[in-house]
Amino acid sequence: MQRRRRRTNFLRPMYRLGWLLIWSLWGISLLFGIPAVMPHDDVVGWGFMTLAVTAVAYLAHRLWDWWVMGRPLPSRR
């Protein structure tokens, strides 16, 4: 039995690079951006900013999925 050659998606490296960029920026903003902006004793503000940055990164990731790979965005029904 002869194996068929695996077809490579040429957009896969671009998708992975975008994924790495989005989540690297998320990590950098958590480690350096939020501590530079928020006061150290504001626990609620830190939590809100962490949730906001995470939501933006998740939205960017979903849009990247849709734009590069063609995956549909989740819809509410």
Q: Is-contact 66 73, C-beta < 8 A?
A: yes
Sign of the four-CA dihedral 64, 65, 69, 73:
negative
Below-70 pLDDT ranges, the chain: 1-10, 73-77
What pLDDT is recorded for position 65? Answer: 86
Residue 44 is predicted with a pLDDT of 93
Q: Please tell me the pTM assigned to this model.
A: 0.75
Query: CA separation (Å) from 20 to 27, 32, 61?
Result: 10, 18, 10
Domain boundaries, the chain: 12-69
pLDDT for the residue 69: 75
Residue for token pair 């504001």? 42
pLDDT at position 9, please? 67
Q: State the Cα torsion 50-56-57-61 to the nearest 10°.
A: 160
